[in-house]
A and B are shown apart, each in its own frame.
Chain A
């Protein structure tokens, strides 16, 4: 929570107490409001820079406080909504006092009720003084299990979509590497655990539909690119033995895997997963290192790291290998040493690491104007990966003294620590997931 929100939530219980007095008349006044004119869309509008307030009402029932806390936190972490969720306060009965919530700065009110089968969620439009939507969420899974949490994350993302027009990113996970093993953690930092079967691996990547991942494994005889079905736990080797095979990424259509491969220098290799077409070489590196591919969302271009200039730089090439060009000629940074490109899911930006005063920092470049923005200064920050909202980045930072994953909102600059405990790195943000598996 930001400081502003903290102050506000402390003041709220008093206001809320007064509100209860108003409830009957408020409900009536809401009903007396004239209907909207014909042809006007009912809904809340979101304009960048302003965060509509959402009041999350207290609720009663089994695990009620946890349910409210998880949903409120998801909405807060989305950074598009100003969540008003006072720690205490009565659960209102009857019609809502819309003018009161308007005075509290809320454009919407989320009213949840725990039922025997799950959660009943009503979203109120305060301006229109009426209910906007009603959702019934079955919560059959054991409380606090991954599936139970995912149901609540899906609710939060749906609420965020209704309030702002853009779905949230709560129903996502982040793959990462801890102690040489592949782990995953929920977007809110809960549920950190090795993936089923605890395979060793590096540099994981998500299939665009989720539930399947690619990574590379380091063995004594070389590195191998692997694919794993998370639900089935089955693993398949994609690369042929010998040399280095690393840094896999899926094309946005999910049918092609591109990775770095080679004995003396590496080039990007594209492999059709259905095996119908032979693998082809994307880059012509002539003994240089070409690695870390990241696709544009239309699948037509690839950002990657190369040493062809004698130093580490980010290039962009057509997916067939034509037209390789240096991403930026800007002379910022002390060694012109850039790596870890990640193309934003809306296609507008490439995030990367750039060395400044001997330390990697996270930067983004706008592809239209090639304007560069530096996002971090503390510690060493590297290996960014975009959330599906094209707004948040997860990256590795050493700012606490050990490598941990952090989440950055590139619009507000807000930062939160995602992992704690043993060193964590090589984060990959999942697409939106529809269920926990």
Chain B
């Protein structure tokens, strides 16, 4: 069937509907015409919404991925920094420990023993890397011998250690020396074991200890 014009089509459709419904039973009151719904726009909207959701999802995923990556990167960096710090700290601890190691002496002697030179050499890197640091060397004695003599003897021990460090290039004015005699023992009791521990020179940073640089 071919309609003369496109504008007549709804009319023809209505006629067909009327003829069909006018048959045998008495016609009920005419039903309201079924709504003709055009879903194009809805579909389009739905599609658009879906597309938007997809885009957001992808975006979120991407962001999450980026964030995760960023986090991992940051964590790695932090870990590396921590490890570096840890290494530096333990290196510093080692340097400080080497610095704080005492030097020991023979009975009534203030001359450095051969192993004492190695102990003193280990203190040089810290002193060289930190020109602002001032130290104090404290000499001590065991409790044999006269009390007053031991004060002077312990002072000589500290001075021996200082002389060695100065000979290695550390300026003398960065090193104070003091003798405590037998007044501040490291080990109590009598016997060679305690005495040997007490015949010593101890090392202490008195200026610049908070801002040490690693060698």
**Which residues of A line the B interface, CB within 8 A?**
180, 202-203, 218, 220-223, 242-244, 246-247, 260, 262-266, 287, 289-292, 305, 307, 311-312, 337, 339-340, 353, 360, 382-383, 425-426
Contact = CB atoms under 8 A, between A and B. Distances in A.
Among B108, B147, B156, residue most surrounded by chain A Cβ atoms (within 10 Å): B147
B178 A289 contact: no
A262 B155 contact: yes
Contacts of A266: 152, 155
Question: Among A262, A266, A426, which residue has the most Cβ atoms of chain B within 10 A?
Answer: A266
A180 B183 contact: yes
Interface in B144-177: 145-149, 151-153, 155-156, 159-160, 162-163, 176-177
Given A223-B178, A264-B159, 6 more contacts: A218-B181, A242-B176, A264-B162, A292-B148, A292-B149, A307-B152
Contacts of B153: 289, 307
Interface of B: 108, 136, 145-149, 151-153, 155-156, 159-160, 162-163, 176-181, 183
A247 B178 CA distance: 15
A218 B183 contact: yes
Contacts of A426: 147
Contact of B156 (A220, A265, A337): A265
Contacts of A218: 151, 180-181, 183
10 contacts: A218-B180, A244-B151, A244-B155, A246-B151, A246-B152, A247-B151, A265-B156, A312-B108, A340-B148, A383-B146
A262 B178 CA distance: 10
Contacts of A312: 108, 145-146, 149
A252 to B, nearest CB: 20
Contact of A221 (B152, B162, B176): B176
B25 to A, nearest CB: 123
Contact of A291 (B108, B152, B178, B183): B152
Contacts of A292: 146, 148-149
A214 B152 CA distance: 18
B146 A353 contact: yes
A202 B178 CA distance: 16
Contact of A244 (B146, B147, B178): B178
